[in-house]
Amino acid sequence: MIRRRRVIFMSLAVAFATFLYTCGNNNFIYFESLQRNKQCACSFCTSNEDDDPWFTQRYKQFIEPLLTRSNSALSKEVYSWWQSLQFASHRANYTAVIEKLFKIFPDNPQVMDTEPDLCRTCAVVGNSGNLLGSHYGKLIDIHDFVFRMNKGPTKGFETDVGTKTTHRVIYPESAVDVDNSTHLVLAPFKTLDLQWLISAFTTKDIKRTYKNVRTTIQANKNKVMVLHPAFMKYVYESWLQKHGRYPSTGFLVLVLALHVCDEVNVFGFGADKNGNWHHYFEKVRNNAGAQEHGRNFENEITVQLLTKMKIQIFRGW
Ligand code: C5P
């Protein structure tokens, strides 16, 4: 009985939040936002002309998040930082790999361009166990773009995490199949990761990086995108001030969203209500990954972004 009341209460609360959220982005707000010289028509825009110094110090407006044929040459600094991230037993010829890559995948991918009369909303959905029991599914699904990451499934968790996935950010060791409408976005930590992507769609002969990886992946090859190594270095240096070894997938996606969305809402980040750091789709509760990613610092920056009203965080129940 108490459990039933709790579920009804949570459903009503989320329905009410969804209602408020939808109202917040409708047309009368649009006029108000134009009056305030905003860069977009949402009630809060991630980037505005009157941004505060903390944000502008970190946010490089013109960085290109995605690798394209024309921006693929890497500076010496970017290349050596990128190569130092992960041990790879063989060093491939980066230029030759890029040539192959853009023979198979779109060579000028775009996420979207921002315009003053549009409000493009994004949900960044991490894999935290705090999503369990949240009833956020419907709220997540009403966003224009839903970014998910790594192995986080929707099947079996629809009520809490939703069903829509417009972009899934992965690396070879965390790859899963995606449906035909989803953009598979590779976060490459080494040249071998680019080779793996090529192989997964062609010869299927790369079976191992530093561990066994999937040899093939189901995804629409016309929707494949790759994060730019210079963007990853920018996230590490400008946002994380070199804390940890490299940014977590979640933090990379969060900064990606700051660059390509007008409004960013964050779900499934952080510990659950008992202080456990685990995945909503796994029973194991551990602390893996804390060191590589400087988790505490990532948390601090995420909270600062909330304080500066650049993002909203939905923490689960
Ligand atoms: O663990 P995994 O890297 O697949 O999770 C994706 C992202 O979700 C993480 O990089 C992190 O930002 C976020 N996450 C979290 N708290 C958890 C699990 C994941 O913030 N307990």
Is residue 142 domain-shared with residue 26, that is, in the same domain? no
Structure tokens at 278: 């685990």
Identify whether the C-beta of residue 118 lies closer than 8 Å to the C-beta of residue 25.
no
Beta carbons within 8 Å of 70's beta carbon, 6+ residues apart: 107, 108
Q: How far apart are CA 227 and CA 194, in angstroms?
A: 11
Is residue 12 domain-shared with residue 143, that is, in the same domain? no
What does the pLDDT look like over 164-192, one tens digit per residue?
999 999 999 999 999 999 999 999 999 99
Is residue 114 domain-shared with residue 243, that is, in the same domain? yes
- Cβ of 302 closer than 6 Å to ligand 1, yes or no, is no
In a domain, 44, yes or no: no
Domain count, the chain: 2
Residues composing the chain: 317
- Ligand 1 centroid to Cα of residue 268, in Å, is 7
- Cβ of 21 closer than 6 Å to ligand 1, yes or no, is no
162 annotated ligand-binding residue:
no
pLDDT value, residue 38:
59
Is residue 5 domain-shared with residue 91, that is, in the same domain? no
In a domain, 286, yes or no: yes
Ranges of residues in the chain whose predicted pLDDT is under 70: 1-38, 49-50, 88-90, 112-115, 286-293, 317
In a domain, 172, yes or no: yes
Is residue 138 domain-shared with residue 191, that is, in the same domain? yes
pLDDT value, residue 276:
83
Torsion of CA 67, 69, 75, 78, to 10 degrees: 20
Domain of 7? Answer: 1-36
- Ligand 1 centroid to Cα of residue 269, in Å, is 6
Active site residue 234: no
pLDDT value, residue 5:
61
Is residue 128 domain-shared with residue 20, that is, in the same domain? no
In a domain, 187, yes or no: yes
Beta carbons within 8 Å of 95's beta carbon, 6+ residues apart: none
Is residue 138 domain-shared with residue 281, that is, in the same domain? yes
pLDDT value, residue 18:
58
Is residue 17 domain-shared with residue 86, that is, in the same domain? no
- The burial class, CB within 10 Å (0-12 / 13-18 / 19+), for 78 is middle
In a domain, 178, yes or no: yes
Is residue 224 domain-shared with residue 152, that is, in the same domain? yes
pLDDT value, residue 26:
40
Radius of gyration of the chain (CA): 20
- Ligand 1 centroid to Cα of residue 179, in Å, is 22
pLDDT value, residue 290:
55
pLDDT value, residue 89:
65
Is residue 28 domain-shared with residue 131, that is, in the same domain? no
pLDDT value, residue 46:
86
In a domain, 41, yes or no: no
Active site residue 135: no
Structure tokens at 189: 């930590």
- Cβ of 279 closer than 6 Å to ligand 1, yes or no, is yes
In a domain, 42, yes or no: no
What does the pLDDT look like over 233-243, one tens digit per residue?
999 999 999 99
| Three-state SS at 312 | strand
**Measured from the CA of 174, which atom of ligand 1 is nearest?**
4
- Ligand 1 centroid to Cα of residue 250, in Å, is 6
pLDDT value, residue 39:
76
Is residue 109 domain-shared with residue 27, that is, in the same domain? no
280 annotated ligand-binding residue:
no
Is residue 294 domain-shared with residue 210, that is, in the same domain? yes
In a domain, 43, yes or no: no
CATH number for position 194:
3.90.1480.20
- Cβ of 47 closer than 6 Å to ligand 1, yes or no, is no
Structure tokens at 52: 């505060």
